Amino acid sequence: MTANDFIQIGIYLVVMLLLIKPFGRYMAHVYADQPNRITRLGGGVERFIYRVCGIKSDEDMSWKRYAITLLAFNFCGVLAVYIFQRTQQWLPLNPQHFPALSPDLSMNTAISFVTTTNWQAYSGESTMSYLTQMAALAVQNFLSASTSIAVLIAVVRGFARGSAKGIGNFWIDLTRTTLYVLMPFSLVLAMLLVSQGVIQNLKPYVDVPVVQTSSYAQPVTDAAGNPVKDATGHAETKAVPLTTQTLPMGPAASQIAIKMLGTNGGGFFGANSAHPYENPTPFSNFLEMLAILMIPAGLCITFGEMVGDRRQGWAILATMLMIFIPLTLVVTAAEQAGNPVLHSLSIDQHASRLQSGGNMEGKETRFGIAASGLFTALSTATSCGAVNNQHDSLTPLGGLVPMWLIQLGEVVFGGVGSGLYGMLAFAVVAVFIAGLMVGRTPEYLGKKIESYEMKMASLAVLIPSALAVVGTAIAVMTPAATATVGNPGAHGFSEILYTVTSVTNNNGSALSGLSANIPFWNVMLSVCMTLARYALAITMLALAGSVAAKNHVPASAGTLPTHTPLFVILLTCVIIVVGALTFLPALALGPIAEYLMSAH
């Protein structure tokens, strides 16, 4: 790595850490039980929404009612997105006259956006109308992110309250998240992105002349549309001059802003944040990277404020950084080192001593390796899944990092809300292990952790991992799935493993060598996304309901402090050990095997 790499990563981390403290405290005010300056400012709009929707703002829900309400709301979201996709050819704002999507792809996409996975088995600019992008996908970017944060706030209330029957009101948490957090900051980010050249319009696609005319071979067909063959039996082709290029248009900036802030990641265009209309400049790239971590990192501060001990939030944040920073350096160093196959051929991949080279395949020259490596780590440490470079072109070790970050459960930093409540499940497991060591009933945030809480936390930790391993096994044994893999051997296995791991942890990024738009993948990945999202959320709500009903236990000499460096190290080790034990055999068959083969 070069000094430039360290400077870029260092500047990003410093700016991010300076911003999250005030932002986290702002969000704590948003979710406070008592009125404050923030909620009074938008109180009129908030009360109007409650009246129109018939919401009882003074109702305190049990964890079961909270979960049922969440499931019903998300089911309506899936249904709405599905209908938009199936009927878009008859709806307005479709200047390219895109047809309806197939039933299996429509269902896959609907579940994907409602669960914040934003897995895309299609290319946006050639598939979705403007209305579908705005009214279905962008709306769910807001609502799915709000749902995740609502679950987290309910879990935090469970630890903060004592002898309580309820954990809050889902509708209030959903409304406040959308109204006070996501909408205003998305508007500001969208305006900044437009200033950098991100497009925002409703124009039809534009045909422009190419700089240099070329030609391509087009098959010759008869009147019935069948290919014409020559005397040797080969299909005849004709040279067709290429004089124009079609430039896609659309309301991109508004969707890009919320896809980053909500760690959704679904690109308006197929190339996602590598597309110049989504991410045109180094400054827009920096803004998008900041947006990815603002809410997940800021919620750590919110957590500390809400439980009445700011040190708890900083301890969780420190744990995340202890894993994130080294892995970011690893992926950047691996890409900076270059392609090991080219090294074995004695090919110099570094242009000069002043300009770093390395593996630039699949990367945008306007970003370079450092910004691409940092973006890769950010999008896979969270549930964002957006990409500004091609993950399929990463070196074997460089590709191992984003895959493992997803496999850790996306708790470093994880998605908005979901990452932190996943981390709290690991924290419960960590204090339970510490309690076993000293022969004492474990406690976390003044609540005794007993068998029920431990069962819920264990399920939350193990469900995504189990789905990823089982789903990968099913895929590699299914001919329809293996036929879609474009690369044989270890890399092909990595493509399957990455795909299933990505959807079971609600990430949505992929290695593009796998063609996923077939009924098998659409159906199986839909099942994985649904189970991973809602099984985890429901188990954490059940844990929240259980601890909310308990009284706070005063700290004693035998209580394990959960804000100290010792606990940070213990929690970090638990996360890494679970990830290593679960996925090391699979990683050995994929990126590790690929590295060993390419290095020799």
Residues 171, 274 within the same domain: yes
Counted domains in the chain: 2
H helices present in 36-168, as ranges: 37-41, 43-53, 63-87, 103-114, 130-131, 139-160
H/E element, 371: helix 368-381
Distance CA 572, CA 61 (A): 33
pLDDT at 354: 37
Q: Torsion over CA of 511, 513, 514 and 516, rounded to 10 degrees?
A: 80
Whether 401 is covered by a domain: the verdict is no
Cβ-contact 91, 129 below 8 angstroms: yes
In a shared domain, residues 211 and 273:
no
Nearest to 430 by CA among 548, 546, 573: 573
Q: Is there a domain that residue 274 lies in? A: yes
Query: Chunked in runs of 10, what are the mean pLDDT values of the chain (600 residues)?
Result: 89 96 94 83 90 90 96 97 97 95 96 94 93 96 96 95 92 95 96 96 93 85 79 81 91 96 93 94 96 96 94 96 95 86 64 59 91 95 92 91 89 92 94 83 89 94 92 94 88 93 92 88 95 95 95 82 93 89 89 81
Enter the tokens of residue 573. Answer: 């080790």
- Residues 126 and 52 placed together within one structural domain of the fold: yes
Q: How far is CA 366 from the centre of its chain?
A: 24
Looking at the structure, tell me whether residues 219 and 114 fall in a common domain.
Answer: no
Cβ atoms of residues 182 and 208 within 8 Å: no
Cα–Cα distance measured from residue 509 to residue 319, given in angstroms and rounded to the nearest whole number: 24
Residue 231 DSSP class: T
Q: Which domain holds residue 243?
A: 206-247
237 with 296, same domain: the answer is no
Instruction: Kindly state whether residue 518 falls inside one of the protein's structural domains.
Output: no
Residues 160 and 121 in one domain: yes
Which residue from 536, 550, 548 is spatially nearest to 458, judged by alpha carbons?
Answer: 536
Cβ distance 593 to 490 under 8 Å?
A: yes
Q: Does residue 103 sit within a domain? A: yes
Same domain, 125 and 189: yes
Specify whether 219 is located in the same domain as 193. no
For residues 216 and 298, membership in a common domain is answered with: no
The answer to the question of residue 73 being in a domain is yes
State pTM to two decimals.
0.92
The per-residue pLDDT for 310 is 94
Rounded Cα distance between 526 and 113, Å, is: 11
Q: Which of 72, 275, 155, 128 is nearest to 545 (CA)?
A: 155
- Helices 139-160 + 418-438 axis angle, to 10: 30
- For residue 68, give both structure tokens: 């049922």
* Structure token digits, residue 398: 């460089």
Torsion of CA 305, 185, 130, 527, to 10 degrees: -10
In a domain, 424, yes or no: no
For 150, 168, 544, the CA distances from 61, given in Å and listed in that order, are 13, 6, 12
Q: Are residues 266 and 117 in the same domain?
A: yes
In one-letter notation, the amino acid at residue 511 is L
242 plus 136 within the same structural domain: no
Beta bridge partners of 229: 235
CA dihedral 516, 517, 519, 523 (to 10 degrees): 60
Confidence at residue 511, expressed as pLDDT on a 0 to 100 scale: 86
The full DSSP string for 546-581 is HHHTSPPPPP-TTPPPSSSHHHHHHHHHHHHHHHHH
Asked if the structure places residue 562 within a domain, the reply is: no
Residues 97 and 239 in one domain: no
What pLDDT score was predicted for residue 470?
94
Residue 28 lies in a domain: yes
Residue 597 confidence (pLDDT)? 84
Cβ density class 173-183: b for 16+ within 10 Å, e for less = bbbbbbbbbbb
Q: 366 and 196 in contact (C-beta within 8 Å)?
A: no
Query: Are the C-beta atoms of 476 and 488 separated by less than 8 Å?
Result: no
